[in-house]
């Protein structure tokens, strides 16, 4: 799967198993955009939703497939890599 920069940014943030609000804060994307991107990533199996699903506030976690896509994006786009130390 070819990732957009937005998808890459969300995948990078899901390494920390964050909910939608935390993803919005981490990425500086509004919640509508986060929801849109997460829906696509869930559909493609790049993230999973864990816990709190009954109240509509799951945490999203990077899958093995998501990690593979993340690493492939970084190999193909070395100039666009977000520093992991700056991300933390």
**Averaged pLDDT, 44-50:** 96
pLDDT at 12 over 80: yes
Q: Cα–chain-centroid distance for residue 11?
A: 2
pLDDT at 51 over 60: yes
3-state secondary structure 6-30: HHHHHHHHHHHCEEHHHHHHHHCCC
**Averaged pLDDT, 10-34:** 95
Question: Which domain, by its residues, includes 66?
Answer: 5-87
Considering the entire predicted model, what is its pTM? Answer: 0.84
| CATH assignment of the domain containing 66 | 1.10.10.10
pLDDT of residue 74: 92
| 38 within 8 A of 23, measured Cβ to Cβ | yes
Number of domains in the chain: 1
Q: Helix-strand-coil percent breakdown of the chain, rounded to 5?
A: 65, 10, 25
């Amino acid at each position: 799967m070819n990732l957009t920069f937005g998808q890459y940014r969300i995948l990078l943030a899901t390494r920390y198993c964050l909910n939608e609000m935390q993803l919005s804060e981490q990425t500086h994307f509004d919640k509508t955009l986060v929801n849109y991107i997460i829906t696509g990533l869930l559909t493609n199996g790049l993230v999973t939703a864990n816990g709190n699903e009954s109240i509509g506030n799951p945490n999203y976690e990077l899958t093995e497939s998501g990690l593979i896509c993340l690493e492939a994006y970084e190999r193909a786009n070395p100039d666009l890599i977000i520093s992991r130390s700056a991300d933390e």
